[in-house]
Structure 1
Amino acid sequence: MTSPAESRAYPQGIKLGVDVGTVRVGVALCDRDGILATPYKTLDRNPKKNSDVRVIAALVEELGAVQVIVGLPRTMKGEEHASARMATDYAELLAGELESRGLDVPVCLVDERLSSVTAHRNLHEAGMSSRNHRKVVDQVAAAGILQHAIDMQKARGTDVGSRVNAAARPGLSGDGAASTPAPAVPEDNTRSSENGRLL
């Protein structure tokens, strides 16, 4: 469940950007002044135990982050398909995990059209060989998502995207297993990325 970001001053401080895929999850950070987003790390997606969700929540807690921006993949026509549902489900899981830790940190979905394409292009222009892209492209895409969001926040003077609420279902159990099955890998592969995510 999502709701439009409130028309209010956006959170000030360290923020995380997240690029969700079926295989990997990219994570990026920005500085306290919200000037520059930088790639941080790439996590293996674990839909059975959601250990990656807990790693991100722990990072939020450790850094005292004030917001998490999750990329919402849309088609060029602005439509949302299986990948968008996957990103929304992931954001809801993360919101639930943060809530279970007593952290009132907003998780917002922000349009991320072409983030992976841009990340690949930037890596190529930086001189990195294509075979090495896979190691870092997700975190570079996450940085692109986060940079876009913080730039929009400054330009508009308000928060952006849609805030996600914790899923209306039990969160992660003590052993880290989700109480409901993880979403199946989407079958519509009209556009794909190395991350296994459908764009």
Structure 2
Amino acid sequence: MATLTIEELATSLLPSQAIAGLDLGTKTIGLSMSDLGRRFASPRPVIKRVKFTKDAEVLLAFAEKEKVAAFVIGLPTNMDGSSGPRVQATRAFVRAMADKTDIPFVFWDERLSTVAATRALLEMDVSRAKRAERIDSAAASFILQGALDRLSALASTD
């Protein structure tokens, strides 16, 4: 498994390969998937975290079922650009996944993704209880959509 930049991912993907978005939390992992044209990100049900080995098993089963070509994982950088404990935990998760899969990971700045996801759910008039269930996957969709938009921009400059 390799960690790639978004530019490296753009050159390594084959047409019609889907990518997954991840929002790694302490209790859940938010999931999203791109369409085969890599234009749209759609939320998927969250993974309830148990321990790393179980989390990895569930995530890799999802990747196999959905034929995931790459993971875009949100990197929770502080607003001032510094790295805190959540960044370290995310990087450690990706390092631990290196022994378990050859699927590449791309780190994506997730600053304000949860805020944007919350606003979108509020605009859709989703109840507080439903928002709590859906926020992590909605955030994963915002993370993935940002990466998909960048991939599209890179493709148009070729």
TM-score where L is the length of structure 2: 0.87
How many Å separate the matches in 1 of 2:83 and 2:120? 25
Aligned: 1:61 with 2:64 = yes
Once the two structures are superposed, residues 94-123 of structure 1 have per-residue CA deviations (whole angstroms, 9 ceiling, x without a partner) of 33221xxxxx32111111111111111110
Asked which structure has the greater CA Rg, the reply is: 1
CA contact (8 A) 1:10 1:153 kept: no
> How many Å apart are 1:150 and its aligned residue?
1.0
Once the two structures are superposed, residues 32-83 of structure 1 have per-residue CA deviations (whole angstroms, 9 ceiling, x without a partner) of 1101000011111123x53122111112122221111110001111111001
Unaligned runs of 5+ in 2: none
TM-score where L is the length of structure 1: 0.70
Please give the root-mean-square deviation of Cα atoms over the aligned residues, in Å. 2.0
How many Å separate the matches in 2 of 1:94 and 1:41? 20
CA contact (8 A) 1:26 1:43 kept: yes
Query: Residue type matched to 1:87 in 2?
Result: T
Provide closer, same or farther for how the CA distance between residues 87 and 39 of structure 1 changes in structure 2, counting only shifts above 3 A.
Answer: same
Partner-residue secondary structure (3-state), 2:99: helix
Find the counterpart in structure 2 of residue 163 from structure 1.
none
How many Å separate the matches in 1 of 2:45 and 2:99? 22
How many Å separate the matches in 2 of 1:5 and 1:34? 13
How many Å separate the matches in 1 of 2:41 and 2:6? 21
Aligned: 1:93 with 2:93 = no
Q: How many percent identity over aligned positions?
A: 28
CA contact (8 A) 1:57 1:94 kept: no
Find the counterpart in structure 1 of residue 137 from structure 2.
139
Would you tell me which structure has more strand in proportion to its own residues?
2
Runs of 4+ with >3 A deviation: 1-8
Query: Residue type matched to 1:153 in 2?
Result: L
Indicate which of 55, 59, 80 corresponds to 1:52. 55
Find the counterpart in structure 2 of residue 120 from structure 1.
118
Find the counterpart in structure 2 of residue 155 from structure 1.
153
> How many Å apart are 1:156 and its aligned residue?
2.2
> How many Å apart are 1:3 and its aligned residue?
6.2
Query: Residue type matched to 2:56 in 1?
Result: V
CA contact (8 A) 1:9 1:157 kept: no
Aligned: 1:21 with 2:19 = no
> How many Å apart are 1:2 and its aligned residue?
5.4
Aligned residues: 152
How many Å separate the matches in 2 of 1:128 and 1:4? 35
Partner-residue secondary structure (3-state), 1:146: helix
